[in-house]
A and B are shown apart, each in its own frame.
Chain A
Amino acid sequence: MTGKLVVAIIAKLYRLYGVFTSILAILGALLIGVFIILANGDSPLVAYLAMYTGSFGDLYHLASTLANATPLIFTGLSVAVAFKAGVFNIGSEGQLYMGGIAAAVLGIYITGLPSAVHIPLALLGGFLLGGLFGVFPAILKVKTGADEVVTTIMANYVAILFTSYLVNYPLKPASAPMGMTRDIMASAKLPLLYSLSRLNLGFVLALITIVLIWVFFKYSVRGYECRMMGQNINFARYAGLRVNNNIILAMLISGGLAGLAGAVQVLGVQYRFVQDFSPGYGFDGITVSLMAGNNPFGILPAAILFGAMRAGGLAMELATKIPSELSSVLQALIILFVTARGSIASYFENKLASNEQKKQGAIPNLELKGGQ
């Protein structure tokens, strides 16, 4: 009886709250992490405590975590916007590089502007070039039917190679080592929010962007159309929506947001463009968006979690013998568990349904299936 109740509650929670599934995924990954840490002869308690204090322990670490989360908020939003419109953008990584290089060029070569003009200009450049790089695969998809999953993967490498070429040849300053531009103008630098850390105005911009994207989907006609396409593209076509236009629009915004991720890293953290600077922010955006169930507000805690794991992983490495790469392993496990959430929910539902059937010989509980 209690067992049945527990199953019923879990099944309900799964359907009702995506958050619950994400938390279960995190707990599951941390549990596996315990065994990995034990296998290495360390104490899980010490390791996880170090991870926690290294990410939320005091103001400095909290600021580092938020600084780490900033690009992930943008790339998470990037993936979510495309996904809501039914397009899978795996190209955030490349769009991020294009946005970063645009911001760097505008930040270096335009001089004599006040910050209030220079910063928005560089950000806009990052948004547009990132967006342009998202629009190419969208046009190919609309005009030729080429799968955007493949074309955006291909575009990633083109962008990484192209920006590497730029910073090793035309944009390389005579005095500097290979692989980076010179510093951007002071007027293009995003001000720091907490002087000891890398936390900068970009985090606030990320928060504002979350609200803007939410408003776009909630209140704009285009946003509504995109959401309908994401739910059923064929229905959207029948209903006479401007499907092709909207795919291009969604990829423009999606690419633009990834571009902003790169621009904010360049203008707020590195102050220059460094070859291969992203440790996979674009791919992490897929995870962040997935954990958030593509909900703009869900992006924030998800991005902070991964930002914390990055910051905390390093702290853990200092406190124990555990390499910081444990964070990547945990992250991969979280992704796997989160992707499986639909079927875990149906597993509990089926179990519940078959229990009911056994007991009453009646048709399975249909109410619980409503969410499908």
Chain B
Amino acid sequence: MPIVEVIFSIEVLVAGIRMTTPLLLASLGGLLASQCGVFNIGLEGLMLVGSFSAIVFDYLFNSWVLGVLGGILFSSLLALVFAFFVVDLRADEIVAGVAINVLGLGATTYLLRTLFGVKGAFSSPRIQGIPVLNIPGIDRLPVIGALLSGDSVLVYFSWLLVVALAIFLYRTPLGLYIRAAGQNKEALAAAGISVRRVRYISLVLNGALCGLGGAYLSIGYLSQFVENMTAGRGFIAIAAVVFGEGDPFRVFIASLLFGLVDSLSIRFQSLNIPSYFALMLPYIITTIVLAMTTYRKMKGKRRVQSADSY
């Protein structure tokens, strides 16, 4: 099969859309953190805790809704711990983020073994997957039907969230406060708004979104929990946040691109083509985009500032 046909096949696109969802949800969360002035590299750990708690709740209550809520709850709690250390105890956000990742992986693996007594992976017929949404009318259309219908509810919900988050960040007072907490916290404080509270809110929302992304992985995309199942997606989400530069739509485009790369690489693997270089693309593209943006900003700053103030 010619390679072009592989790349543009419907299966790859459909799988890519599914792969996009956990990345998108986590990176929308990361976007909120970066907007409020905290660079959170703990997305991976938050997602993993979300995946695990979703499985636990789904298994206990035999309900995907409670599974999703459980995932959101526990990664929000972990994000609250992160917020406490970073905002109140003024811990270094990068180091605290590393701790969240270590804790997420350690705690989920530990609990997988103590709660379920298994090593590696856990699944059970009791686990109810997130339902698939067939959009009447659209599902019968060729190509578009496969792309835009018949996926998990969370896939479509994540698209709505992009729009919702754009409105939230750019059209509501709280969104303004969040951006102000990141860009000019002195001004926000002078306006009588607590920077601390705004940061707490955005970081907990960050946790909730990562938890949702994690829950999609364990009870939406699959019906099981696997040790370290996020497998670096939290870091790809960071790449999407950096790529997105504060714009939820750009974050969406980046996540979609990285999701497609992900699904393409799986396809390559099945055809025995090395996929390592394809998998590098998100990281390389992000590095280039970041370097280009900061270069533009740096040149702009040099022009504005006089030589001695630089």
Interface set, chain A 63-113, CB cutoff 8 A to B: 88, 90
B100 interfacial by beta-carbon distance below 8 Å: yes
- Which stretch (A247-255, A264-272, A334-342) binds chain B? A334-342
A153 touches B106 (CB 8 A): no
B110 interfacial by beta-carbon distance below 8 Å: yes
A241 to chain B, nearest CB (A): 15
Bound complex: CA A277 to CA B39 (Å): 28
- Which stretch (A44-52, A163-171, A182-190) binds chain B? A163-171
- Which stretch (B178-186, B248-256, B283-291) binds chain A? B283-291
Contacts of A205 in B (CB 8 A): none
Knowing A154-B283, A158-B284, A329-B106 touch, does A323 contact B114 (C-beta < 8 A)?
yes
B270 interfacial by beta-carbon distance below 8 Å: no
A165 touches B274 (CB 8 A): yes
Bound complex: CA A155 to CA B39 (Å): 18
A335 to chain B, nearest CB (A): 4
Contact with B along A103-135 (1 / 0, CB 8 A): 000000000000000000000000000000000
A144 touches B102 (CB 8 A): no
A162 interfacial by beta-carbon distance below 8 Å: yes
Knowing A150-B238, A154-B284 touch, does A286 contact B98 (C-beta < 8 A)?
yes
Contact with A along B83-115 (1 / 0, CB 8 A): 001001111101110111111011101100110
Contacts of B90 in A (CB 8 A): 340, 342-343
Contact with A along B245-280 (1 / 0, CB 8 A): 000000000000000000000000000001011011
Bound complex: CA A340 to CA B99 (Å): 12
B235 interfacial by beta-carbon distance below 8 Å: yes
Contact with A along B103-130 (1 / 0, CB 8 A): 1011101100110000000000000000
Contacts of B294 in A (CB 8 A): 144-147
Of A146, A161, A323, the contact of B110 (CB 8 Å cutoff): A323
Interface majority SS on A: helix, strand, loop or mixed? helix
A192 interfacial by beta-carbon distance below 8 Å: no
A7 interfacial by beta-carbon distance below 8 Å: no
Contacts of B81 in A (CB 8 A): 336
| B106, B109, B290, most chain A CB atoms within 10 A | B106
Contacts of A90 in B (CB 8 A): 41, 94, 98
Bound complex: CA A344 to CA B107 (Å): 25
Knowing A140-B291, A145-B298 touch, does A332 contact B106 (C-beta < 8 A)?
yes
Contacts of B235 in A (CB 8 A): 153, 156-157
Contacts of A326 in B (CB 8 A): 106, 110
Bound complex: CA A3 to CA B110 (Å): 39
Of B92, B102, B280, B297, the contact of A145 (CB 8 Å cutoff): B297
| A88, A158, A168, A332, most chain B CB atoms within 10 A | A332
Contacts of B98 in A (CB 8 A): 90, 283, 286-287, 335
A190 to chain B, nearest CB (A): 29
Of B92, B99, B110, B286, the contact of A325 (CB 8 Å cutoff): B110
B56 interfacial by beta-carbon distance below 8 Å: no
A154 touches B287 (CB 8 A): yes
A323 touches B109 (CB 8 A): yes
Interface set, chain A 293-336, CB cutoff 8 A to B: 321, 323, 325-329, 331-333, 335-336
A244 interfacial by beta-carbon distance below 8 Å: no
A162 touches B280 (CB 8 A): yes
Bound complex: CA A335 to CA B96 (Å): 7
B102 touches A335 (CB 8 A): yes
Knowing A144-B291, A145-B294, A145-B297 touch, does A154 contact B91 (C-beta < 8 A)?
no
A307 to chain B, nearest CB (A): 16
B292 interfacial by beta-carbon distance below 8 Å: yes
B277 touches A165 (CB 8 A): yes
B242 interfacial by beta-carbon distance below 8 Å: yes
Bound complex: CA A161 to CA B242 (Å): 21
* Nearest 10 pairs of A and B residues by beta carbon: A328-B106, A332-B103, A339-B91, A165-B276, A335-B99, A340-B89, A144-B295, A154-B283, A145-B294, A325-B110
Additional A-B contacts beyond A321-B114, A342-B90 (11; CB < 8 A): A90-B94, A147-B294, A149-B41, A151-B290, A158-B284, A161-B279, A328-B105, A332-B103, A333-B103, A336-B81, A336-B96
Give 15 pairs: A residue, B residue, CB < 8 Å, sorted on A: A140-B291, A146-B295, A147-B294, A149-B41, A150-B290, A157-B280, A168-B274, A280-B102, A323-B113, A325-B107, A332-B103, A333-B99, A336-B96, A339-B85, A342-B90
